[in-house]
Chains A and B, each alone.
Chain A
């Protein structure tokens, strides 16, 4: 069952999101108020370790589980969408105190009211999809 592996990686991710306290609304407030290094440490270490990983994978021409050389796709250079969409997400992130990964994690912790937040996020994605042809990218 090829998808089962992703279930286990997801379980690990949910545990990491909880134990790192990245799911905490309070930690996100602390981050945006620049009152603790905690969240910057998490994201900073993940980015630096990830950058080393990307370098090693590319320079070593590492293969994935299917034996194919790993290729990375470039993010589309839609800078207007990046800054406007990013700002809109940021406005929401500081309200909900949770980005998408933590939203799912919080739900699994038994915070059923988060279903409303996830439902609203789906509605937001739907409205974006409908407005996409009219928005600057």
Chain B
């Protein structure tokens, strides 16, 4: 069983599992949307003193904070007990494109799991322009953008689209406009 679960999951199994997580949250009386946690944490930190947006009862999101604690634990369980035998197997075209940008895709688990490019995502790189742009500026845009759009991949792309919400479709189109600009224009400039 453990060996079976330790294989990388097929996309259809993964997609069904995400839908199941969404179902469980709905059955428990809530909804699937992770980026609201940013609002709740800012509110707990006293952001209500500087912006009305954060003046709300964050305890209405206590379940989400517990859910996120679980997500953190789940990530640890998955790599500790259900680790894949090989790193993430991406297409050879992507490996080549990233190699041209100076990012090497790990071929063995000893080189990396293939989750984060270790050339960039480490503490030393926080002293470089590349590291600051990918980690600090990237993180800022994720926080700002998801709150501006009112949702992220979970709230808009999966929850919203599956409930046929037009604002979510518009947001997902935005996700791709931004993602394509970064991938084809910004990343080549940053990593050059």
Q: Is the CB of A19 within 8 A of B8?
A: yes
Q: B147 and A85: CB pair below 8 A?
A: yes
Who on chain B is nearest to A88 by CB? B145
- Interface digits, B126-156 against A, CB 8 Å rule (1 contact, 0 not)? 1000000111111111111111111111101
The proximity string for B residues 174-192 relative to A, scoring 1 for CB distances below 8 Å and 0 otherwise, is 1111111111001100000
Instruction: Say which residue of B8, B123, B150, B162 sits within 8 Å of A54 (CB atoms).
Output: B162
- Classify chain B: how many residues form its interface, as a range: 35 or more
Give the docked Cα–Cα distance between A103 and B49 (Å). Answer: 27
Contacts of B182 in A (CB 8 A): 32, 90-95
- In chain A, positions 117-137 with a C-beta closer than 8 Å to chain B are 117-130, 132-133, 135
Q: Which residues of B contact A114 (CB under 8 A)?
A: 121
Question: Are the CB atoms of B135 and A113 closer together than 8 Å?
Answer: yes
Q: Which residues of B contact A3 (CB under 8 A)?
A: 62-63, 66
B65 nearest CB across to chain A (Å): 9
Against B, the Cβ 8 Å flags (1 = close, 0 = not) of A46-63 are 111111011001000000
Neighbour of B70 across the interface among A7, A92, A109, CB < 8 A: A7
Interface size of A by CB at 8 A reads 114
Q: B74 and A129: CB pair below 8 A?
A: no
Least distance between B187 CB and chain A CB atoms (Å): 7
- Residues of chain B within 8 A (CB-CB) of A31 are 179
B22 with A53: CB separation less than 8 A: yes
Known contacts being A86-B172, A91-B181, A97-B116, is A45 close to B15, with CB within 8 Å? yes
A100 to chain B, nearest CB (A): 4
Q: Is B102 an interface residue (CB 8 A)?
A: no
Residues of chain B from 81 to 120 with CB closer than 8 A to chain A in the complex: 82, 84, 88, 90-91, 93-94, 97-98, 105, 114-117
Give which listed residue, B69, B115, B123, B175, contacts A25 with CB less than 8 A: B115
A8 vs chain B, min Cβ distance (A): 6
Task: Please report the C-alpha to C-alpha distance between residue A17 and residue B105 in the assembled complex, in whole angstroms.
Answer: 20
Interface residues of B (CB under 8 A from A): 5, 8-9, 11-12, 14-31, 34-35, 37-39, 41-42, 45, 47, 50-54, 62-64, 66-79, 82, 84, 88, 90-91, 93-94, 97-98, 105, 114-117, 121-123, 126, 133-154, 156-168, 170-183, 186-187
The 8 closest A-B pairs by CB, nearest first: A10-B70, A14-B74, A86-B174, A90-B178, A45-B15, A124-B143, A92-B141, A50-B162
What are 22 A-B interface contacts by the 8 Å CB criterion? Answer: A3-B66, A9-B25, A10-B70, A13-B18, A17-B74, A21-B115, A46-B19, A48-B162, A74-B165, A78-B167, A83-B177, A88-B145, A88-B178, A89-B144, A89-B152, A89-B171, A90-B181, A91-B179, A92-B143, A95-B141, A123-B140, A124-B139
